Chains A and B, each alone.
Chain A
Amino acid sequence: MLEYRVEIALWAISGIIPFFMLNIWTNNNLNESINISDVMLSRYFLCAFFVRQFSVVWVVFSFEEDSLMGKVSPYLIQPLNPFFRYFAQHLAEQITRFPFALIIAFFFFIFNQESIWIPNLGILLLSIVSTFLSFLIQFLIQSIVACLCFWTEKASSLERLLFIPTLFLSGLLAPVVSFPAYVKSWVYLTPFPYLIDFPANLLSGNETNISGGLSMQILWIFLLFPLFKKIWSEGTKKYTAMGS
């Protein structure tokens, strides 16, 4: 079982991009151009790390493999949509990641003691809700892409196209507030800033429009869910039960 424990630790460590980005930002004093203090920037990237840990989704890869290998077949004839299985897997893995994320945060605070803060309970609860909504949006987007397996067999290639805007526009590499005004105006119309930037700003205590952000997250879920249902229902008609 040792290899499983190491794997879990590696998952947690693999999400440390925000800390690299923090290093680049502070070493080059880039935060001065957007009027964010070093401390707030540190907290932002720590929160971005946390939000990423609890919203990362890989359902497209799991579903694609299962679909191509015929493993989806037994699930399809059970009275439960197979995506619930993947959903449960993600939740279980998020719980497993939690202690590792806390350990990483502990070390982060040892090296950045000035960044230590305790968010108030209300903000903490709203951040948890917002992170969960972010997870739902990402899960729905990837599930829609995953359903394209019924037509293309290699849906994960399409997901890679989505990975680029997710990386740049979600706030993982830079807070969206640092983007030029004209870019920001249309970025906020996409689901991407609500994946990392909004929950991370909320948790870190940066100025953010809480009700607007939460409303946009809920709106995206309401838009994506029927689209998923439709594509699932059309896709299963195309299912050929390959590999079984």
Chain B
Amino acid sequence: MVQNIIDVRNLSKSFDISSKEPGLNGTIKHFFNRQTKSLKVIKDISFEIKEGEIVGFLGANGAGKTTILKMLCGLIYPSEGSILVSGHLPFRRKENFLKNITLIMGQKQQLIWDLPPIESFYLNASIYDLEKFEAKKRIKKLSEMLEIDEELFIPVRKLSLGQRMKSELLAALIHEPNILFLDEPTLGLDINAQRNLRKFLQKYNKETNATICLTSHYMKDITSLCKRVICVHEGAISYDGKLNLLLKKLSPVKEILLVCRSEKDATKLESSGFTVKNKIKNEITLKIENNSITSSLKTILNNFDIEDLFINEPPIDEIIGKVLIKKDYDI
């Protein structure tokens, strides 16, 4: 049986936020009588993640996804509840725990700006107590997987965003962590770089059985990497389960465009009991439930003279967009 590697129970996090009115008066008031209020950004959430799982955290901006990741990796202290990651309380930041995890933030970097990435890799290798020979071996292996080579010897400030991101990944993975926290790792990357990064993460997960927690606003990251998603809405979990179940639930019908041999056939099909979205001459668009697609198509192809057909899937961004603005999804 696969063990839970992350166990979160009734986790909450509050921040003290101060607000200021605009203008000079507001500044003076703010200086002498600062108004602060406690804002609960994570509200009593619980979930478990199994070893080797890739889980996507979905949510609108400010929903609390990144705050959850920061608490899971021990960067910030939870206000209430408990977190166990690989048997450790993350915030204690014990050496054994830190050697097992990594956090990659798409918009933040740990590489030394004025030096080539290779210098940062050896620095990290020392921090994680790796022998020089072992470090060399891992740098070679990871740079092959990430397809970077001469970039390792060019100052970071001269690298492109994609090359920098690959180098960031290498720096973050040199100690071969078995839990990866990735906060928008493909942010700002072009389509090819995004695809390469996803391929790399899949390979890394497959080869090392690493657990990956991922947030991303690019749905392709989520659909190609994560079987399971946790949707966060205003600090609470609105859905935790399989991605394909969520998609089926949110998009129960498919649209099928049929090109009939003649307009007469299209008219006949229109009155045959299927739900029609629209009909233009010999082209008719039907709405068919996901669970009856095969049988419906069989009936149509057997009884009508069909020249061509197209199945339209609703865009996944549109479907997920619905999740981000709703509080509960009971699947």
Contacts and interface: CB of A to CB of B under 8 A. Distances in A.
A239 B15 CA distance: 10
Contact of B93 (A74, A76, A238, A240): A76
A77 interface: yes
A237 B91 CA distance: 8
A240 B107 contact: no
B93 A244 contact: no
Which secondary structure characterizes the binding site on chain A?
A: loop
Interface residues of A, number: 19
Interface in B105-160: 105, 107-110, 114, 124, 127-128
Interface in B47-104: 66, 70, 73-77, 91, 93, 95, 98-99, 101-103
A15 interface: no
Contact of B73 (A71, A77, A79, A236): A77
B108 A77 contact: no
Interface in A189-216: none
B98 to A, nearest CB: 4
Interface string B162-192: 0000000000100000000000000000000
A74 B108 contact: yes
A75 interface: yes
A80 interface: yes
B108 A73 contact: yes
B108 A75 contact: no
B75 A239 contact: yes
A80 B125 CA distance: 12
Interface in A173-200: none
B98 A77 contact: yes
A91 interface: no
A79 B76 CA distance: 16
A244 B103 CA distance: 11
A78 interface: yes
A2 to B, nearest CB: 14
Given A74-B110, A77-B74, A240 B15 contact: yes
Nearest to A70: B108
In this complex, which of A4, A79, A237 has the most chain B Cβ atoms within 10 angstroms of its Cβ? A79
* Chain A to chain B: the 4 pairs with minimum beta-carbon distance, closest first: A74-B110, A79-B98, A79-B95, A237-B77
Interface of A: 4, 70-71, 73-80, 236-241, 243-244
Given A74-B109, A74-B172, A236-B77, 12 more contacts: A74-B103, A74-B108, A74-B110, A77-B98, A77-B102, A77-B103, A79-B98, A79-B127, A237-B77, A238-B77, A241-B75, A243-B108
13 contacts: A70-B105, A70-B108, A73-B70, A73-B75, A74-B108, A74-B172, A77-B93, A77-B98, A78-B98, A78-B127, A79-B99, A239-B76, A240-B15
